[in-house]
């Protein structure tokens, strides 16, 4: 084997799953592990949240074995936020422990289930430094940033989400994929002002500003919101992939986006399994609920009827 081939074989790929509390990170990790396992990819989950309890999956590495949030809060008299920041700093200075644990799973694909404190990804440096160090150890990682899709129903919250997503992308310095999670539930939070692709592609935000102006509370902040929208559009970095973990095609779309981001290429076996999964009827072992109805109502169909769109599929 050539030295080049040897170097390539030592690469380890994975996803750094981040996002605010309640965005569905743990559910995503479990669903993605099951999905990738069916494709033939050997997957392990690394719990990076020292506050996670009662995990719905079996994790190969649990950071709570090194540092537990309850112990930190009790021992140092810190609150939850301060305790979580201290815990991440403790992991950073004990990287040898984490690297040793990860080496036990050298031939696997990694899902890092991270804490939900937003400041860790926009201001604090420990999480950024942890994954920067892993990148030096031949890890090829992509940040997967989950955002609850219900924010789309509120223009003010959506602009806030865009600012947070942009700040996270710039701070983490990793290949980055933004996800609108729970897309199958989006209609439960109210009618969208625009088609879904307006939010996923982050189109002209001046239309959102018009909706904000109609609210007396936000009218006096029009200039501020206008400048925030300009910053987001000037960077032109933020876009989203819609996700329902129960929808097969949605999971495939997300996986392809992540694999493109971190450089992972499908092998022959994965491609065959993926094609079989797409063409076969949904089996009892891996159930999906179609979100086609949501897509039909919120994505432009170029003038076609629903029946015509279905015939194209």
pLDDT at 230 over 90: yes
Q: What is the pLDDT of residues 67-104, one digit of tens each?
A: 999 999 999 999 999 999 999 999 999 999 999 999 99
User: Structure pTM?
Assistant: 0.84
Tell me the pLDDT band of 42, cut-offs 50, 70 and 90. Answer: very high
Gap between the Cα atoms of 234 and 226, Å rounded: 12
User: Averaged over 165-190, what is the pLDDT?
Assistant: 92
What was the pLDDT predicted at 186? Answer: 86
Torsion of CA 194, 195, 196, 199, to 10 degrees: -40
CA geometry: angle 171, 89, 94, nearest 5 deg: 115
User: Averaged over 52-67, what is the pLDDT?
Assistant: 91
| Contact by Cβ (8 Å): 242, 122 | no
Gap between the Cα atoms of 6 and 3, Å rounded: 5
What is the length of the chain?
A: 313
The least confident of 131-140, 185-194, 198-207, 254-263 is 185-194
Gap between the Cα atoms of 74 and 53, Å rounded: 17
Domain boundaries, the chain: 12-205+237-312
Tell me the pLDDT band of 266, cut-offs 50, 70 and 90. Answer: low
Tell me the pLDDT band of 190, cut-offs 50, 70 and 90. Answer: confident
User: Averaged over 136-165, what is the pLDDT?
Assistant: 94
What was the pLDDT predicted at 191? Answer: 83
Beta strands in 89-225, from DSSP E residues, in sequence order: 109-113, 139-148, 176-181
- As a whole number, the mean pLDDT across the chain is 85
Which tops the pLDDT comparison, 164 or 273? 164
- For 305, half-sphere exposure in the C-beta direction (CA atoms, 13 angstrom radius) is 3
pLDDT at 278 over 80: no
Q: Which residues contact 148 (CB under 8 A, 6 or more apart)?
A: 20, 22, 23, 24, 180, 181, 182
pLDDT at 280 over 80: no
Query: Judging by beta carbons within 10 Å of its beta carbon (0-12, 13-18, 19+), is residue 153 exposed, middle or buried?
Result: middle
What was the pLDDT predicted at 4? Answer: 42
The domain made up of 12-205+237-312 has a fold known as: Rossmann fold (3.40.50)
Q: What is the pLDDT of residues 147-156, one digit of tens each?
A: 999 999 888 8
Reference 86, options 99, 101, 73; nearest CA is: 73
What was the pLDDT predicted at 282? Answer: 46
């Amino acid at each position: 084997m050539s030295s080049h081939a040897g170097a390539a074989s030592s690469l380890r790929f994975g996803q750094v799953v981040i996002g605010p509390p309640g965005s569905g990170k743990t559910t995503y990790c479990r669903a993605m592990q099951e999905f990738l396992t069916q494709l033939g990819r050997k997957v392990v989950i690394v719990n990076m949240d020292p506050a996670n309890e009662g995990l719905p999956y079996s994790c190969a590495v649990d950071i709570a074995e090194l540092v537990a949030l309850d112990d930190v809060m009790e021992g140092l008299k810190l609150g939850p936020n301060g305790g979580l920041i201290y815990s991440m700093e403790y992991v950073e200075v004990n990287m040898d422990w984490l690297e040793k644990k990860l080496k036990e799973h050298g031939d696997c694909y990694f899902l890092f289930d991270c804490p939900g404190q937003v400041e860790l990804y926009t201001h604090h440096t420990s999480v950024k430094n942890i994954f920067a160090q892993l990148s030096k150890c031949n890890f090829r990682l992509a940040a997967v940033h989950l955002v609850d899709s219900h924010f789309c129903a509120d223009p003010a919250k959506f602009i806030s989400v865009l600012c947070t997503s942009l700040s996270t992308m710039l701070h983490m310095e990793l290949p980055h994929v933004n996800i609108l999670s729970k897309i199958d539930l989006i209609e439960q939070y109210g009618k969208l002002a625009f088609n879904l692709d307006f939010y996923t592609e982050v189109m002209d935000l001046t239309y959102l500003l018009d909706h904000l102006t109609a609210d007396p509370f936000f009218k006096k902040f029009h200039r501020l919101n206008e400048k925030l929208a300009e910053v987001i559009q000037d960077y032109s970095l933020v876009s989203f992939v819609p996700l329902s973990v129960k929808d097969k095609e949605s999971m495939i779309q997300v996986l392809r986006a992540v694999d493109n981001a971190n450089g992972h290429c499908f092998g022959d076996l994965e491609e065959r399994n993926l094609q079989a999964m797409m063409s076969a009827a949904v089996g009892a072992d891996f159930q999906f609920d179609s979100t086609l109805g949501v897509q039909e109502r919120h994505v432009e169909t170029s003038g076609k009827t629903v029946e015509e769109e279905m015939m194209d599929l």
